[in-house]
Chain A
C-alpha cells in the first residue's frame, strides 16, 4: 500500500466538522506543514484536540486566524492570546482537560477502552458533572476516552512502510495520537527505505499510520525556519 502522499492531497482526507487529534507540545513535535494546509483551506467547524493551540500566528495558532475552528480541547491555552480572544468573543468553544487526563484519554481511545477512573481533578471544577466512584477508600472520577476522525502527528523520520521515530521531547502526545484517529497522517522531516530504521528506535509501528507527508520546513539551528 502506498502511504506517501503529497501535502497538496492531504486536505481531501479532511471533512468539515471533523475532530482532529493533533500532536505537539507548544510548537515541538507539531505537524506544521499539515497545519499550514488547513490554514489555507476553506474547511470549517473543526474540533481540534491538542495540548495547546501553538502560539500566536504559529502552529495551531494559525487556525485561529482563519476561523476554521469550532472547538479546542486541551490542557493549556492561556499563553496564546488569540485563543483567549476567540474564546472571549464567543467564536471558539474551549474544553479544558488536565494534561495527564488528556494523554490517558487518547491512549484509551486508541486502545479500545471506553473510559477510565482517575484521582486527577477530584474536588475541582473539572470534575463537575462527572461520575465519582470509590476504589480502596479513595475517590476517583470517570473520564471518557478520546478518539478522532483524523490524527495529525509529527515525527522525525518515517520509512516507506510508515514506521515512525521521533525527535527527543517532540514525541510528546504524538505516540498516543497516532493510535486514536480513524485516519492517521504523519508529517516527517525525512523518509527512508524500509529496513533503514532500527527496530529498537521505532516508537510508532507502521500499523497505526495510514499516510506519510514530507514536511516543507527545513530545520536550522534547532528551529524550523520560516514556520
Chain B
C-alpha cells in the first residue's frame, strides 16, 4: 500500500518543473519532495513560509517553524516568512504555480470534492477551497479507489464540491488522466492493467489515444 503511494508521488514529481512554486496538500503529496531528483522547486506552506526545507534533526526542532500539517520543518536557502493573509494573497491571487492535493472524488471534468463526506461530521475545510480557486495548475494525487473500493473518478460528484474550478490532471497508481471541457482523457497507464480493465474500475468514461 505504501508502495502505491510512492508510485503516485514519483509520477507527480515528473510533472514538476524547475523553479516552480508549489503547494503540497496532506497525504500522498507530502511524499513528493523525496522524488524530485535534481529539480529545484520552492515549496509554499500556507501557514506562512515560501521555501520549506526537510524535517530538522531533533535538537533543531522549533514548533513555531512548522508545516501546514503541523510538523516541524526547516527553511531552504532563499526562504521567506509571512503572515496568513499574505500567504493567501499568494494562493488566491494566482501566484502559486501548482497545487498538488488529494481528493475524495473527482468528476469527469475535473471538479474536485476533497473536504467533506456526506452524512459525516463536516468540521474542516482548511485551505483546500482557496487552493482550488487560486492555484495556476492543479494536480490530484490519489489512490484509484476509495477505501470502500468505489472509484474516485466519477461521472458526477456525490460528495460536496470544493469549488467550480477544475483540476488539470489526476495521477493514481494505475493511470494518469487529463481533464478538458470534453471530459476525461487517459494519457498513460502506470500498472499492468489493460484499458478495458481500467474502465471497469473507473466511474467516469474516458477517451484514450485517437478514439
Closest residue of B by beta carbon distance from A224: B63
Of B58, B84, B132, which one neighbours A99 at CB under 8 angstroms? B84
Given known contacts A28-B47, A170-B64, A172-B48, A76 and B124 CB-to-CB distance under 8 angstroms = yes
In the complex formed, the residue of B with least CB distance to A85 is B121
Binds B, one of A10-18, A62-70, A173-181: A173-181
- Among B156-164, B184-192, B198-206, the stretch that binds chain A is B156-164
**Closest approach, in angstroms, between the C-beta of A184 and any C-beta of chain B?**
15
Give Cα A102–Cα B85 distance, bound, in whole angstroms: 8
Q: What's the nearest-Cβ distance from chain B to residue A161, in Å?
A: 21
- Determine whether the beta carbon of B164 is less than 8 Å from that of A123: yes
How many residues of chain A have a CB within 8 Å of chain B? 53
Query: A203 CA to B124 CA in the complex, in Å?
Result: 29
**Complex contact B160–A124 (CB within 8 A):** yes
Q: Which of A34-42, A114-122, A190-198, A205-213 contacts B (4 or more CB under 8 A)?
A: A114-122
Known: A26-B66, A119-B133, A120-B129. A103 touches B121 (CB 8 A): no
* Residue B180 is within 8 A (CB to CB) of chain A in the complex: no
Q: Is the pair B47, A172 in contact by a Cβ cutoff of 8 Å?
A: yes
Q: Does B125 contact A (CB under 8 A)?
A: yes
B25 at interface (Cβ–Cβ under 8 A)?
no
Interface, chain B (partner A; CB < 8 A): 45-49, 58-66, 68, 70, 72, 75, 81-85, 87-88, 91-92, 116, 121-130, 132-134, 160-165
Q: Which 7 A-B pairs have the closest CB atoms?
A: A100-B88, A78-B124, A100-B130, A170-B64, A175-B83, A123-B164, A222-B61
